[in-house]
Structure 1
Amino acid sequence: MQLHDYRLAETIKDNKTITTGQSTIQPDEQETQTELPTELLEVILSQLTLRDNVRASAVCKSWLAVAISVRMADKPPWLMFFPKFGDLYEFYDPSQRKTYWLELPELHNARICYAKDGWLLLYKPRTQRVFFFCPYTRELIDLPSLELTYQIVAFSASPKSPNCILFTVKHVSPTVVAVSTCHPGATEWTTVNYQNRLPFVSSIWNKLVFCNGLFYCLSLTGWLGVYNPEKSTWSVNSVPPPKCPENFFVKNWWKGKFMAEHNGDIFVIYTCSAVNPVIYKLDQANKVWVEMESLGGMTLFANFLSSYARTDLLGAMRNNVYFSKVRFYGKRCVSYSLDNGRYYPRKQCYDWGEQDPFESVWIEPPEDLSTFL
């Protein structure tokens, strides 16, 4: 996009009148003529280079405000789909509504476990192989093998970080769990059994996040287990489970919940068929889940295995929950607006019991698009 320079033939400061070669325009009139809908202006200015963004900010006060907000805008994660057959993987950008493709034969017969910081954690059931993989650089990091049955796995940071820890938990009995941990470079997993004061059942429908140095695991029934890797301690939090929607206890009800963290806060999203999603935030001080009517401009990206939270996105994406499902032949991601209290596209609420939990995952966007087909 090129911004045209308008030369001013004369400027009279005393009466604040601006004279062009053809007509005289008052400042208020000039600003009115350049007005565009804010959301449209955000989309246009977000496509500019930094240099052109700065130039655009000089047009008027409203353009300045939008240019600065877009200049600092965060990027949403992309949705990566795992094919049932073949090695061609689809990547969907929800902000631009564009789809990209990559051939990744390294992932053949692999099952996605988790995603964070642009890295995938994968598992090959036949060989019990566990490994990290970055789809953008094709870098692969092997880990000690581990048998994963019905438990899920998460990691704390990029495998390039010295703080990277992998964590998984499975119940041995209603009152005993086995916690397994590992780190890149280790030769084996470390497994320790812990006694529970409260019942905790593990399954592939549990949710895991790493927040403030702790792993939080939301169980099938809504109890929150907490593991401290530094102290090697495990406990089931006494916070009562989040209140479920009225129609939540139907077939496959446990599949419609998601968990994310942001800046030390933990959020849980409950969905159920045609019922509007219910979002809770953990109040750790008062040991209670608080229902949220607004996200305060934050955007949540919900997925079975790993969910994300973002701030400073474009206006149209704020205060929304984006789900890992794309409709209309890849043209639009299913989302729910808290401002409008409805799904987009309309009547596109989804029965999560019908979706394969391993078919997609949110992942950090690439810095360079040249690797895509």
Structure 2
Amino acid sequence: MAGRRRTKQRKLVDTIKEDQRVSSGPDKQNSAAADLPKELLELILSPLDLRDNIRASAVCKSWQAVATSVRKSDRCPWLMICPKEGNLYDFYDPTQRKTYSLDLPELKGSRICYAKDGWLLLSKPRTRRVFFFSPYTVELIKLPKLQLAHQIVACSAAPTSDNCILFTVKHVNPMLVAVSTCRPGDDAWTTIHFENQLPFVSSIWTKIVFSRGRFYCLSLTGWLGIYNTTNGIWAVLSVPPPKCTEYISAENWWKGKFMAEYNGDIFVVYTCAAVNPIIYKLDEMKQVWVEMGSLEGMTFFANFLSSHVRADLLGKMRNNVYFSKVLYYGKRCVTYSVDHDRYYPRKQPYDWGQQDPFQSIWIDPPEDVSTIL
């Protein structure tokens, strides 16, 4: 009898445990999540990026309401278009498809070189002057003179940052380069020569991006040089350039390229008149460029001088390449949809390597648009 009672007791305990497991299932968990105070939910959801925020909003109605209220998206860059004559510069907002104009006589005789954190980096070829300029506050910061003949110059951060360093590279011959750097406040540029183990040829078509303490430089022929600002070392990676598409001349292939950085990753978009754009991502560990079949929700803003990647844009801008060309009386950028594998609008000149490289540039918009109205 005692054995039977113990058996019945064990079955009763197992039944209770099973009921507890059932009662603590998804419905119970969702109920507990819904009971969290709004203030606590805001603290939990505020740091999330767009993708995780959208996932969190699917938990329950209360989470959806709070997630929507704290949802953040990247600010879309504006396209700054230089005038052929005069001092009136247009700033095109692709989100609103709206253009703002600013009179900037301070830029007369200047050539745009780079854009970073809402600042422009410019040079005056006749006087060899290099300077930073904020088009929204009209603030100007002078830099030491520099002769920019067949190369471009880039920067790591805004000139107001302690981490700002300027960089340019010029080949003496394919196996020897001169790297020049300076910081705001310096009296002169510092130039150091480095020998290459692999060929590197600089030109105005060289692409430069800064990521995690290093400048990445894509040469005319596709070799990638890296300058480490921490130890001052230059090297050309043994990463073979992406292969040129069959039946297309290498010259056209290499000119129509754009490079950008996002979250430590390096991306390159290659274009040519005869084929649709091809997107690559650098796998530095495996020393190879990997072709991407998708932008994974990101948006690539392509420009000869300074390209950008955004991962947290809303709506139809995701999975697109935005080129620095505006059509239909300033109403629409030329774009390439990765999802649909086509340009919008159709029948556009796709040979971006033949465009004027200094005609436009993508730049971060002002914090408050009303300040420029």
TM range (shorter): 0.7 to 0.9
How far is the alpha carbon of 1:70 from its aligned partner?
Answer: 8.7
Give the length in aligned residue pairs.
Answer: 315
Partner of 1:144: 144
C-alpha distance after superposition, 1:21-77 (max 9, x if no partner): xxxxxxxxxxxxxxxxxxxxxxxxxxxxxxxxxxxx9xx959957982893121110
Distance 2:317 2:349 in 1: 18
Contact 1:245 1:270 in 2 (8 A): no
Residue in structure 2 matched with residue 241 of structure 1 by the alignment: 241
Pair 1:288–1:357, CA change in 2 (3 A): same
RMSD: 2.0
Q: Which residue of structure 2 lines up, in the alignment, with residue 107 of structure 1?
A: 107
Distance in 1 (CA, whole Å) between partners of 2:332 and 2:165 is 35
Whole-angstrom CA distance in 1 between matches of 2:233 and 2:157: 20
CA distance in 1, matches of 2:233, 2:278: 31
Report SS of the residue matched to 1:106: helix
Letter in 2 for 1:85: E
Q: Tell me, what secondary structure is at the counterpart of 2:369? A: coil
Name the structure 2 match of 1:14: none
Equivalent residue, structure 2, for 1:265: 265
Report the residue type matching 1:122 in the other structure. L
Q: Write the distance in 2 (CA, Å) between the matches of 1:335 and 1:69.
A: 30
The one-letter code sitting in structure 2 at the alignment partner of 1:129 is: R
Would the aligned equivalents of 1:244 and 1:270 in 2 still touch at CA under 8 Å? Answer: no
- Which residue number in structure 2 is paired with residue 211 of structure 1? 211
Are the structure 2 counterparts of residues 65 and 293 from structure 1 closer, same or farther at C-alpha, using a change threshold of 3 Å?
Answer: farther
Task: Spell out structure 1 runs of 4+ moving beyond 4 A.
Answer: 60-67
SS at match of 1:370: helix
With the length of structure 1 as denominator, give the TM-score of the two structures.
0.81
Q: State the SS of the aligned residue for 1:270.
A: strand
Higher helix content, 1 or 2: 2
How many percent identity over aligned positions? Answer: 72
Instruction: Say whether residues 1:320 and 2:320 are aligned partners.
Output: yes
- What is the match of residue 78 of structure 1? 78
1:332 aligned partner: 332
Map of 2:232 onto structure 1 = 232
* 1:172 corresponding residue in structure 2: 172
Give how far 1:354 is off: 3.1
Superposed, 1:285-296 pairs within 5 Å as: 285-296=285-296
How much has 1:348 moved relative to structure 2? 2.5
Deviations 1:164-219 (A, max 9, x none): 00000000011100000000000000001100011110000010000111001000
Give the Cα separation in 2 of the matches to 1:321 and 1:262. 14
Q: Which runs of 5+ in 2 are unaligned?
A: 1-56
Letter of the 1:148 partner, please give it: L
- Scaled by the length of structure 2, the TM-score of the pair is 0.81
Q: Where does 1:118-133 land on structure 2 (aligned, <5 Å)? A: 118-133=118-133
Deviation at 1:346, TM superposition (A): 2.1
Aligned to 2:194: 194
Q: Distance in 2 between matches of 1:152 and 1:69?
A: 43
Contact 1:203–1:219, Cα closer than 8 Å, also in 2: yes
In structure 1, the gaps of 5 or more residues are 1-56
